[in-house]
Structure formats: structure tokens, C-alpha cells
Structure 1
Amino acid sequence: MPQTPFDESERRIWAGTAEAYAAGFGGLCAHPVPRLLDAAKVGAGIRLLDVGTGTGAAAKAAGARGARVTAVDAEPGMAAGVARTLPDAAALIAALPQLPFRDGAFGASVGNFVLNHVGRPLAALGELRRVTRPGGRIALTIWAAPGAPGQALLGRALQAAGVTRPPHLPALAAEDDFPRTADGFAGLLRAAGLTDVRCLPLRWDHHATAEEWWRGPAAGVATIGRIVTAQRPEVIERIRGHFVELSREFTGTDGRLVLPHAALLASGRVR
């Protein structure tokens, strides 16, 4: 299946960002991992696929539960990082919706926020269903829309600086998108042929210093980071100034940011 323009854009956006992602947004994205593994019923002896592994947070936690883990990521630096830090896990470069595994190869599959970065989410789920054995569970997280206030901080700083999303960054095609709500996410899993579908909202506060939170976009991590780093130096400084000002809304008594976030966790069973 050929990549969509959205897929191709995502590959460019994330290229070479493994270390910067781990130092910033990686900690935020690791928060749902325990509940993600619970939803997939990951335990000792199960053969697990962690797709879009990123920093390897889910792979590491699954290994601690005694699972036999295979971790894949489209970004070579992410896969290499997992190979270095988790020698007991198999780490490969691969991307949805085409995975190099036989049918029913895994007892369970998880993807922590990976569906936010694929151009054909339904096809991606179909591929996860293919490589997961009958009776096995698939569990995934996505960011909810609308999001919580902490998720909007960086975007608000861009907007205040007069910076908009450039037209050359493609969005998901309308026919491939789905509502980022509990009903919408659950409906996607059912459309992919999964049964016993469950979807739970997740809310938590992410704690970081303003410097830590700015570090990711300043290094070009994710779409927002690519937008920031594409600006002239004086515009970047203007964005940073608005970010510092807006951050005061989220600053706790200890001087650190308290950033509310909202996600969705959905799981289903392969027939």
C-alpha cells in the first residue's frame, strides 16, 4: 500500500528527532503506558508487538512484566535507541500499515499514540489485526479532540506570534479521518473488525519546567517544532516570548508548569 502525502510528511517531520523527543515530549507520552498494557492484557510469556515504539517506554514496561517484546518504529533513530537500551527486545525499522510479520505472529499488539501519525488509520488497524493472533487484544492511544488546556499552550504561542500552519504540511485526508472522541475511536476499532471494544478517556497533568517544555519545539520535534524552526530567528524569539507569557497560566507554586492533557485509550479483541 503506497504512503499517503500525510505519511511522507510525518517521516520528514520525525527524521532525526529521537534524542530531542526523548528529552522532552517522550515523558509526556509515556504516562498512559501501564493502562495501555493492562488493556492489552500483557503479562509474562506473551509475545507483544509495540508499534511506533518511540522511546521504548511501552516495550520496557512490557519486558518488566515478562513479555517477549518486538518493537518497531518508522524512525531509525527511535528503533536504534530501543535496541541499545533494551537488549532483550527485538527492535526493527517498520511502519504501519505494512509490517514484516506473518499472520497471527503476536499474542497482543499495542501502539502508544502511533495512530496520530499514520495516513490511513483504518488500514493500520487492519494490519495490527492481521499480525495479532485470534483472541489476542490490540490496545492504542490517541490524543483527544478537543484537547485539554495544556495541549494548546504551544499552539497558542504560535497564534499569538502570528504564525499559522504552512499549507505544504498535509492533513489527514477526510475519508481517512475519524472523530477523536470515545465514540469515534471505538467505532474505528469496530470498523477494523475488532470485538469486545472498549474506550476510556484519560486525563492527567504533565509537570515540566518552561525550559523543558520549550526545548522540544525549539529542537524541531513534531509538527509544531517543524513550524517553529522554519521561522526566522526574530520570529522564533517572538514565539518564545509569547510562550513564556502564556506559561504563567500553568505555573504552580514550585515554579514548574502543570499542563492538563487528555487522551483516549481504546482496545479490542481479534476474532
Structure 2
Amino acid sequence: MDFDLYERELWTGRASAYERGFAHVTRYMVEPLLDAAGVTDGTRFLDVGTGPGVVSLEAVRRGARVSAVDAEPGMAETARRNVPGLDVRVAVLPGLPFEDGTFDAVAGNFVINHVGEPDVALGSLRRVLRPGARLALTCWVMPGRGALAIVREAIEAAGVPWPDDIPATPFMEYGEQVEFRRLVVEAGFTEVAVEEVTWEHVVDPEEWWETGALSRVGTNGVIVGRQDAPTVARIKTEYDRIISGYAVRGGKVALPAHALLASGVR
């Protein structure tokens, strides 16, 4: 299956489930992302892949003039609800409904790893920036570790194979500092910097099972959702075993998250 087509099917109707779960993990990077993009009072800013609007909301709080796009209509509607008055449009990268040089800053929080042609998408982001404007992007370190990997590890430990019809992300080769930096440099940006950021996501393990396995958010959720009840139970047994290694006080687990933050100048 074409990766972009798969992504559209993957996220259709998942806005509410994403907002309840994974959005709490990605929220950690919002302020570092906006700092890297230089978003302050009066900045004309584009939030790419806004999801539930978390980045847009913080940019508005900083006094920026914010526009946002998302490929999933449900995500756009959720962002519109969470950020009253937000100029949010449905658009699928690399297509952006803006004139050349419109923005002072563009940022995407864990978006670039969800497009089939990252280099083409970066060219589109560069197009809508004015000369001297800033870009900032986050992505997960590849292959996923910690928080992102636990359900996948449980699936593998339960002996469930990767489905033939689910494509691997084209971003796999870019999910480390050197290759991510090269990708942004080759797209024509200057002063490019990439840093790895780590944090802990403290969560109830049953809540994380719901988020990562039963809600059908992301590929792991799709794979679990295809299984019969005995297989799901087998995956859950492996999940409980793996996640117990991250236990902290209060019945919670502290799951490490590993991301890359890239920035550059148009």
C-alpha cells in the first residue's frame, strides 16, 4: 500500500482517541519546538499537522498570529474547538494552501515522520517561509524506543507477524541526528541544528494499553485491532510483563521518550 494512502486511512476518525492518549506524550515538546522556531508576540506562524491544536494554542498564548493545517478533518475540527478563532484548514503535505513567503515561522510536532516523501514536504514548508524565517520539526528517534516501543515489543513477543499490507515509514532512515540534519540541509535550510531530547511519560499502565493497543491509534493499534480475542490476551500478557520494568510509585509507570528536534533558517 502507498504510505500516504495508508496514513490517511490510519488517522481517519482517530482525533478523539489521539487527543485522549498520545497527545499527552507529544505535548512535552511544544515549548522547545516553538522556542526553536522563534515564535513570539506578532510572529506569523504556521502549525503543520496541528492535531488537537496543542502547538497552536501555546503559540496563540505567546501572541503569535497563527494558522494551522492538518490532513485529517476530525483533527482540524478538534483544533478549532480547542483554539477558538484559529485559522485551521485541511491540507495534506506537500500541499499547503498559502502563498510563497507567507510565514515568519513554521513548525510541525511529530509530523514529518508521517509523510511519504519527507524531502518534498520540506520543500513545501520552505516555500511558505519568508527569507530569514525559521523552521522547527520534531520526530521520534528511530526505531522507536521506550514509550513508543512497548506495545510493539509485546506484539513481537506474542509471535504476531508484521502484516504484509502495512508499509514501513519512509522516515526510518532519518530518525537519527546525522540523517535528520542532512535531510533538512538538503532541503535548502541553513543554520541547521538537531538535538535529541528525552523525557519520561508517567502514566497508568492500563491507560497506556488503551492508548497504544486498543484505541487503534497508530500502527500498533491497527495490528492489535486485527487480532482475535485469544491473541489480544496473549499480547496483553507480554505487555504486562514488559511494562512492569518501568513501574514507579502509585501504580504508575515512567516510560522514556526519545525525540529529535531540528531547526533551520530559510
TM class by smaller structure: over 0.9
The answer to whether the Cα contact below 8 Å between 1:111 and 1:141 also exists between their aligned partners in 2 is yes
The answer to whether the Cα contact below 8 Å between 1:144 and 1:264 also exists between their aligned partners in 2 is yes
User: Which 4+ runs in 1 deviate beyond 4 A?
Assistant: none
Amino acid in the other structure paired with 2:227 = Q
The answer to whether the Cα contact below 8 Å between 1:121 and 1:177 also exists between their aligned partners in 2 is no
Distance across 1 between alignment mates of 2:264 and 2:115 = 19
Give the Å deviation of 1:177.
6.0
Give CA-to-partner distance per residue, 1:203-225, whole Å, 9 cap, x none. 00111101110112201001111
Distance across 2 between alignment mates of 1:178 and 1:153 = 21
Q: In structure 2, what is the equivalent of residue 38 of structure 1?
A: 35
RMSD between aligned residues: 1.4
Give the stretch that moved more between structures: 195-204 or 227-236: 227-236
Give CA-to-partner distance per residue, 1:142-178, whole Å, 9 cap, x none. 10124433332111110111112201012245xx763
* Pairing 1:248-259 to 2, within 5 Å after superposition: 248-259=244-255
Structure 2: runs of 5 or more not aligned: none
- Secondary structure of the residue that 1:32 maps to in structure 2? helix
Compared with structure 1, are the counterparts of its residues 145 and 112 closer, same or farther at alpha carbon in structure 2 (3 Å cutoff)? same
Amino acid in the other structure paired with 1:194 = F
- 2:198 equivalent to 1:203: yes
- 2:66 equivalent to 1:69: yes
Q: In structure 2, what is the equivalent of residue 234 of structure 1?
A: 230
- 2:207 equivalent to 1:212: yes
- Secondary structure of the residue that 2:52 maps to in structure 1? coil
Distance across 1 between alignment mates of 2:141 and 2:243 = 21
Give CA-to-partner distance per residue, 1:34-86, whole Å, 9 cap, x none. 00000000001111110111121111110100011111111111000011121
The answer to whether the Cα contact below 8 Å between 1:250 and 1:258 also exists between their aligned partners in 2 is yes
Give CA-to-partner distance per residue, 1:195-245, whole Å, 9 cap, x none. 010111100011110111011220100111111101112211221222122
Compared with structure 1, are the counterparts of its residues 25 and 187 closer, same or farther at alpha carbon in structure 2 (3 Å cutoff)? same
Q: In structure 1, what is the equivalent of residue 260 of structure 2?
A: 264
The answer to whether the Cα contact below 8 Å between 1:68 and 1:89 also exists between their aligned partners in 2 is no
Amino acid in the other structure paired with 2:238 = H
The answer to whether the Cα contact below 8 Å between 2:199 and 2:258 also exists between their aligned partners in 1 is yes
Q: In structure 1, what is the equivalent of residue 241 of structure 2?
A: 245
The answer to whether the Cα contact below 8 Å between 2:142 and 2:172 also exists between their aligned partners in 1 is no
Give the Å deviation of 1:256.
0.4
- Secondary structure of the residue that 1:193 maps to in structure 2? coil
Find the partner of 2:123 among 115, 122, 126: 126
Give TM-score, length-normalised by structure 2.
0.96
The answer to whether the Cα contact below 8 Å between 2:44 and 2:104 also exists between their aligned partners in 1 is yes
| Identity within the alignment, % | 45
- Secondary structure of the residue that 2:200 maps to in structure 1? strand
Q: In structure 1, what is the equivalent of residue 138 of structure 2?
A: 141
Distance across 1 between alignment mates of 2:235 and 2:172 = 30
The answer to whether the Cα contact below 8 Å between 2:52 and 2:82 also exists between their aligned partners in 1 is no
The answer to whether the Cα contact below 8 Å between 2:52 and 2:78 also exists between their aligned partners in 1 is yes
* Pairing 1:165-176 to 2, within 5 Å after superposition: 165-172=162-169
Q: In structure 1, what is the equivalent of residue 150 of structure 2?
A: 153
Structure 1: runs of 5 or more not aligned: none
Give TM-score, length-normalised by structure 1.
0.94
Give the stretch that moved more between structures: 244-253 or 57-66: 244-253
Find the partner of 2:44 among 40, 44, 47: 47
Distance across 1 between alignment mates of 2:136 and 2:154 = 33
Q: In structure 1, what is the equivalent of residue 97 of structure 2?
A: 100
- 2:20 equivalent to 1:23: yes
The answer to whether the Cα contact below 8 Å between 1:101 and 1:131 also exists between their aligned partners in 2 is yes
